[in-house]
Amino acid sequence: MANAGAQDAALTLANKYLAGGNYDAAITEFKRFLCFNIEHEAVSDIYYEIGLAYRNQKKWASAIEALRQSMVYAENDSVKQERRISIAIIQLGTANYSAAEFELLRIAHFSDYPGMKSNALYFLGVCYCYLASWQQAQQAFDEYFKQNPSAAQHAIDSLFASTRDLNYKSPVLARWLSTFLPGSGQIYAGDWRNGFNAMILNSITGYYLIQSLIEQRIKDALIGHLTLFERYYRGNRHNAAHAATLHNQKIDEKLSRNILDRLSKTE
């Protein structure tokens, strides 16, 4: 093992690189230090610093791996839970919501540290907002505000109350509407332009298909008009369901932004 002076110098250099934004050099120095000083008392913190450097480089998988190593060498559960929340925050930022939920639920339900449980509940609420799981989000924030009273709670509760009257559209109903009347499903979902286009295209292809059959031009009907009608008709049904899904996503995204913006003003 290197002497204390050399150890301090190596860590000082690594931290200098980190503070200066030279993350590759910082990571290299931290890892070089760990190769010769794996029994050092600061190993957990060093892995944490490596995790932060990778996070700043947007190397998410490497950041999470370093933070997990930090947990392995942590001396108490409080530090481990703090690092677990850091992992969950990265997972939230990379839209890996199911993994973040798993990490946060463990702390929210089993932590013996009120501060850690409170932080986990906050980010769990954020996670459920991204997932548009409004009831679960409200439950998480209710628990959070019990521990952290805030004047913002009333505004947040009002936003959650509005989730009971959201104007969602049914993708199944949209598909069936366009099955019986092409374009009507898109119009139901609020996509008027594409709905009318679907009506016109399907009407035209349907008209020529029927006209060809009446005139007994079976080959033209089967090869040309039937193929086009099948294409536009099936596409119109798919697009109707997709339009309803997009409509619902826009509602969820807007509400999620409103809740998270309101929360950011309380921090």
- Calculate mean pLDDT across residues 2-18: 76
Task: Specify whether 155 is located in the same domain as 229.
Answer: no
- Calculate mean pLDDT across residues 156-183: 84
Task: Specify whether 16 is located in the same domain as 123.
Answer: yes
The verdict on residue 250 lying in a domain is yes
Domain end (from 106, 130, 164): 164
Weakest mean pLDDT among 54-63, 126-135, 248-257: 248-257
Domain with 44, as residue range(s), is 11-164
CA distance to 80, 82, 113, 115, 159, per residue, from 107 (Å): 10, 9, 9, 10, 26
Three-state DSSP at 58 gives coil
The verdict on residue 6 lying in a domain is no
Task: Specify whether 157 is located in the same domain as 42.
Answer: yes
The verdict on residue 197 lying in a domain is yes
Cα dihedral 136→138→141→146 (10° resolution): -110
Domain end (from 141, 164, 187): 164
Weakest mean pLDDT among 19-23, 118-122, 163-167, 262-266: 262-266
Task: Specify whether 144 is located in the same domain as 251.
Answer: no
Place of tokens 């594409």: 194
Q: What is the pLDDT of residue 78?
A: 92
Q: What is the pLDDT of residue 1?
A: 46
Task: Specify whether 147 is located in the same domain as 238.
Answer: no
Task: Specify whether 203 is located in the same domain as 86.
Answer: no
